[in-house]
Amino acid sequence: MKEEKYILFDQYLQGELTDEARLDFEKKLSENHELASEFETFKEVQIQLETKFDFAADRDAFEENLKAISKEHFKIDKSKVISFKPWAYLVAASVALLFGLFLLNPSPKPVFEQYNQYENAYLTERSEGVANLKQAEATFNAKNYKEAIPLFEAILKENKTAEIQYFYGVSLLENNQIKQAETVFNEIKSGNSIYKNKAIWSLALAKLKQKDYKGCKEILLTIPSDYENYDKVQELMDKLD
Residues 128 and 98 in one domain: no
* pLDDT confidence tier of residue 27, bands split at 50, 70 and 90: confident
Total domain count, the chain: 2
CA separation for the pair 55, 53 (Å, rounded):
6
* pLDDT confidence tier of residue 58, bands split at 50, 70 and 90: very low
Residues 122 and 232 in one domain: yes
* Over residues 95-118, mean pLDDT: 69
Residues 128 and 192 in one domain: yes
55 compared with 23, residue with greater pLDDT:
23
- pLDDT score of 156: 92
The predicted model scores a pTM of: 0.59
Name the amino acid, one letter, at 146: K
Q: Residues 224, 230, 231, CA angle at the centre, nearest 5°?
A: 150
Domain endpoint, select from 104, 127, 158: 104
**SS3 readout for the chain:** CHHHHHHHHHHHHCCCCCHHHHHHHHHHHHHCHHHHHHHHHHHHHHHHHHHHCCCCCCHHHHHHHHHHHHHHHHCCCCCCCCCCCCCHHHHHHHHHHHHHHHHHCCCCCCCHHHCCCCCCCCHHHCCCCCCCHHHHHHHHHCCCHHHHHHHHHHHHHHCCCHHHHHHHHHHHHHCCCHHHHHHHHHHHHCCCCCCHHHHHHHHHHHHHHCCCHHHHHHHHCCCCCCCCCHHHHHHHHHHHC
- pLDDT score of 112: 94
Domain endpoint, select from 70, 104, 138: 104
* C-alpha distance across the termini of the chain, in Å: 36
Q: Which residues contact 119 (CB under 8 A, 6 or more apart)?
A: none
List pLDDT tens digits, range 187-238: 999 999 999 999 999 999 999 999 999 999 999 999 999 999 999 999 999 9
CATH number for the domain harbouring residue 222: 1.25.40.10
Average pLDDT, the chain: 80
131: left (phi over 0), alpha (psi -120 to 50) or beta: beta
Residues 96 and 123 in one domain: no
- pLDDT score of 49: 59
Residues 70 and 122 in one domain: no
Q: Which range marks the domain in which residue 63 is found?
A: 2-104
Residues 96 and 207 in one domain: no
Residues 123 and 71 in one domain: no
**Is residue 109 in some structural domain?**
no
